[in-house]
A and B are shown apart, each in its own frame.
Chain A
Amino acid sequence: EAQVTQNPRYLITVTGKKLTVTCSQNMNHEYMSWYRQDPGLGLRQIYYSMNVEVTDKGDVPEGYKVSRKEKRNFPLILESPSPNQTSLYFCASSMSGTGNTGELFFGEGSRLTVL
Chain B
Amino acid sequence: AQSVAQPEDQVNVAEGNPLTVKCTYSVSGNPYLFWYVQYPNRGLQFLLKYITGDNLVKGSYGFEAEFNKSQTSFHLKKPSALVSDSALYFCAVRDGTGGFKTIFGAGTRLFVKA
Contact = CB atoms under 8 A, between A and B. Distances in A.
A25 to B, nearest CB: 12
Contacts, number: 56
B32 A102 contact: yes
Contact of B43 (A33, A94, A96, A106): A106
Interface residues of A, number: 26
Contacts of A35: 104
Interface stretch (A38-46, A60-68, A70-78, A79-87): A38-46
A53 interface: no
27 contacts: A4-B43, A31-B100, A35-B104, A40-B106, A42-B4, A42-B107, A43-B44, A48-B101, A50-B100, A58-B101, A92-B44, A94-B100, A96-B100, A101-B49, A101-B51, A102-B32, A102-B94, A102-B102, A103-B49, A104-B34, A104-B44, A104-B46, A104-B102, A106-B43, A106-B44, A108-B42, A108-B43
Interface of A: 4, 31, 33, 35, 40-45, 48, 50, 58, 90, 92, 94, 96, 101-109
